[in-house]
Structure 1
Amino acid sequence: MAWDSACQSESAVNVIIVPQDFSFLVQSTIFTGPCQGVLELKVDGTLMPPDGPESWPKNNSRHQWLVFYRINGMSLERSSLIDGRGEKWWDLPCKPHKAIRFFMSSNLTVQGLRIKNSPWFHFKFDGCKNVHVESIYITTPKLSPNTDGIHIENTNDVKIYSSVISNGDDCVSIGSGCNDANIKNITCGPGHGIRQPIIICFQEKLYSPHLLHQKALMADMYQWCCQT
C-alpha cells in the first residue's frame, strides 16, 4: 500500500500523489501513524466512497470514511475533488459517516481542496494540535442535514483562512476542549455560520470585510478563543 511505504520511509518528506484524470473508489480506511517523516498527500484525481448505504461493505465502519490517526506532520492538498456521495444518506434516521477525520494528530495542513456532499461532517479534527486549513471549497445543498463544513474538538492552535463553505449546517462548528483558534476570510452560507460551545471566551468580535456571510448570520462570525 502506498501509504505504508511512504509512512515507513526514512526520507524527510514523502509524497503520495492521486493522479489526475482518474476517479478512485476508496473504502473506509484508517491511515495510521506515527510515520518516519513528513507526508504530503496530493489529490489531483477524484476520490469517492461507496455510493450510499446499500453499497457500503458491512464489515466497514459507517461512522467514518477517511481517518488519519496519530500523524505528526502531514499536508493534504491540491485542487481536485473529494466527492462524499452523501445524497443517499441524508434522509436516513441513523448518523452516517464523516468524510475526513484527523484524530490525535499534529502539524497538519489542508489546502486547496474541493470537497462536496459529505454524508455528515466534511472535516473533523479531534484531539489535534497545530492545524492550518486554507483555500478550501466545500459545497453541499442547503437542506442537507448535519453537513458541517469543519468541526473541531479537543484541538489546539487552529487556523482556518480564506475558504468558501456552502453547506446545509454549520460552516465551522467548535466542540469542547478547544484553545487558540483563528478563523478569518471565510465566505459562509447558506449554512448556520460558526457555532461555538457555551463556555467560551470571546476575545474580539470581528465585523469586517474579512468575513463574508449572509447578513442575517453575520452575528455568528467571530475571531475567538475557546476555553473549557
Structure 2
Amino acid sequence: MDLELDHSVSLSSVTLVVLLLIFSCTPAEGNFRVIGSPQPIVAALGDDIILPCHVEPQIDVTGLTVEWSKPDLKPDPNDRLRRVEYVHLYRDAREDLDMKITEYVKRTELFADGLTRGNISLKITNVTFEDEGRYQCFIPKLKSLFKSSIIHLSVEPKSVTTETPLQTPGPTEETDVNGGGLSMRNRLTGVCVGVFLMILLVVGAIYVYWRHKRQKQELFTQIEREPVKGSLHDGNRC
C-alpha cells in the first residue's frame, strides 16, 4: 500500500514538473504589450520618418487589425456620422483606405515583413507641420490589457539637424519600454538556459523516482526471503 502511494506521489511530482516546463515556454495571455517609442520622434520638415511600435513578446499580427490614429484629432462637426478616421488602418491583411485621413493618403505604410514579428511601426513620408502631435498604435483584438501605445512626433524646420529612425527594429536590436533592455539574442539565450535547467530538473526527478522505486523493490524482496530462510533452519534442527 505504501509502495503504491509513493509511486503515485512520485508520478504526480514528475507530471507537475513537466507542466511547469511547458507553461514556462508559453507566454501568458495577458503578458503581451504594445510598446511604442518612449522618446519623442523629432523630424525635419519633408523628412521620411518611422514611428516605432511593436508587440512584446513577439507574435505574428498579420491576421489582426492594426489601427494608427491621432487621438487629439477631433471629428468633423459637419459629418453627422462622426466616423473615426485613421492615419493608417490595416485590416484583413491589407490597408483599408475607406476611413483614411485624406492628408495621409499614399504617405503611410507598415512593414509587411515585420508584421510576422510583431513590428507595427508606421512609416510616414514627406512630413509636414500638420503631422506633428500624438499618434496611437492600437491592436483591438490583442489578448492583453496593454493594446495601445502613444508616440509623440515633433516636426522642426528643415534647417534643424535631426536624426530620423529610418530603420525598422531588427531582431538583435535592444528595444523595450525604457529604450534599453536585453537584446533578442540575450532573451533567447535566457530562455534556452531556463529550458535546459528545467530539463535537468525533470531528468533528476525521474532518476530519484526510479532509484526510490528500485530501493523499495529490493527491500520488499529481502523481506519476502527472510521467512523462507528461517523455515529451512528450523527444519534442519529437527
Query: Is the shorter-chain TM-score for this pair beyond 0.5, marking a shared fold?
Result: no
Structure whose alpha-carbon radius of gyration is higher: 2
Instruction: Pick the structure with more strand per residue.
Output: 1
- Higher relative contact order, chain-length normalized (CA < 8 Å, sep 6+): 2
Give the structure with the higher percent helix: 2
